[in-house]
Chain A
Amino acid sequence: MKRAVTIVTGYLGSGKTTLLTHLLKEEPGGRTAVLVNEFGEVGLDHHLLRRIDEHTRLLSGGCLCCSVREDLIRELKDLLDRSQRGELPDLERVVIETSGLADPAPILFTVMTDPVLQHHYRIEHVLATVDAVNAGLHLDRHPETKKQITAADKLVVTKTDMVTDEAREELVRELARLNPTAPIVFSDNGRTDWDLLFSQEVPIASGALAADRERPVPGPESAHSREAAHSLSVTFDRPIDWNAFGMWLSLLLHSCGENVMRVKGLLDVGERGPVLLNGVQHIIHPPEHLPAWPKQVEPRSHVVFIMKSIDPEQLMQSLEAFQHMMDAKARLTALNIIRHA
């Protein structure tokens, strides 16, 4: 069985280490190893704690997201070696805390494509911490924050006790625009529910799906800006042909993958359960067959794209031109302009 890798990302001072400190207190001993980029002011006390020096190798012709983190390969292989030699017999999970400025995409790429690691580890979650006090400032000034938020599977809002309820609600709305696929979890002084953070049961935020139905699609004038970032929800009226959709999406990622910050969805491919699709830039997780549709989700294909510099109208026209191959017609159900583009 593959060991789980959880990535904890978030801007400098957004509470990653505080969150980890509390999480590791609840964790049964010996099962989780922690790799950190920097020892912060909050000391982490954990016997399987290792420090890594970020060392990235850019592949020739590759873009930034498809670069290899050699430091991680070394550490993950070493943990694997120790686990297989019986030194860490119970190792189930590795938590990687990124530096505040890191893009999580190369970590995903490294684990999913390394010839050894891909067979022994699986990416379980990308958690991004968002500082409720400074989120607006970070989003305005540091593009890394937006990348971290869009790459996340779950968002952990920290320092909520230091802002008003209105400010918190506004932040939640902004985060839902930036990444409609990620459930939002609140952390109270670093304390949050381990089960809630690591639960797998909601592949797409049910909140986002419900919001899609309520939220009107903006008029064409707001959808025209090619430069803006958008999050876009698309549903398909019938079961979709996997081959055709795979062809279309892989070509889209090949030609404009750097501008497709996130794609996540459940696809009805005409089988009993859906296929879970999850990608960050060029990197697509191995599609996962779910045995049945989650109860809170309508059983039809639903995909969320978070994109920049791609006109949503053009994307819909492309889906329309490919619809006879996919056997399903796409419909735009929600479109958000992302303010912090």
Chain B
Amino acid sequence: MCVLCGESILRIHWTDRKQPPESAFASRTRQRERLRRIRLLNQMLGYYGLKVDDWNGVKFVVRDKKGRSEIVHDLGDLWEKAEKLAGRPLNPLDSGLLDYLNRGRRE
């Protein structure tokens, strides 16, 4: 159960399960990983005119340039809602996205 929104969290997305549950890693490590994930997501989502921010350390908010936003729980949830805001499918094989990332790497 999410303490902020009361939503039942029935599933943990596989990308959030790298650390074993009994791991003694402090929440600081998790927070650092989370911020890195946001930075990486924004490098990619910029191509679609979208931006992701942290929401109280438990969720993410994805926004478009018109100010519309969606709260997302994990990456499984993100892609669907990002597509809705972008108005087109997201695909890591899309040549336009790959050109955008390659340009960003060179700059």
Bound-state CA distance A252–B79 (Å) is 10
Q: Out of A247, A279, A286, A317, name the residue touching B44 (CB < 8 Å).
A: A247
**Does the CB pair A251–B40 fall under 8 Å?**
no
- Residue B69 at the A interface, CB < 8 A? no
Bound-state CA distance A5–B52 (Å) is 38
- Residue B68 at the A interface, CB < 8 A? no
Which of A82-90, A183-191, A321-329 participates in binding chain B?
A: A321-329
Nearest B residue to A319 by beta-carbon distance? B92
**Does the CB pair A269–B18 fall under 8 Å?**
yes
How many B residues have CB within 8 A of the partner chain? 32
Bound-state CA distance A285–B97 (Å) is 28
Main secondary structure of the interface of B (DSSP, over half): helix
Bound-state CA distance A254–B91 (Å) is 8
Most chain A Cβ neighbours within 10 Å, of B13, B75, B89, B93 = B93
**Does the CB pair A247–B75 fall under 8 Å?**
yes
Assuming the contacts A247-B44, A325-B43, asked whether A286 and B89 have C-beta atoms less than 8 A apart, the reply is no
How many A residues have CB within 8 A of the partner chain? 34
**Does the CB pair A285–B14 fall under 8 Å?**
yes
**Does the CB pair A256–B75 fall under 8 Å?**
no
**Does the CB pair B40–A325 fall under 8 Å?**
yes
C-beta contact mask, B65-97 vs A, less than 8 Å → 1, else 0? Answer: 000000000011001100000000111110101
Chain B residues closer than 8 Å to A284, beta-carbon distance? 14
22 interchain pairs (CB within 8 A)? A243-B15, A243-B36, A246-B18, A247-B40, A247-B41, A247-B75, A250-B13, A250-B75, A250-B76, A251-B79, A251-B90, A254-B79, A269-B18, A279-B14, A286-B12, A289-B18, A318-B93, A321-B97, A321-B98, A324-B101, A325-B43, A325-B44
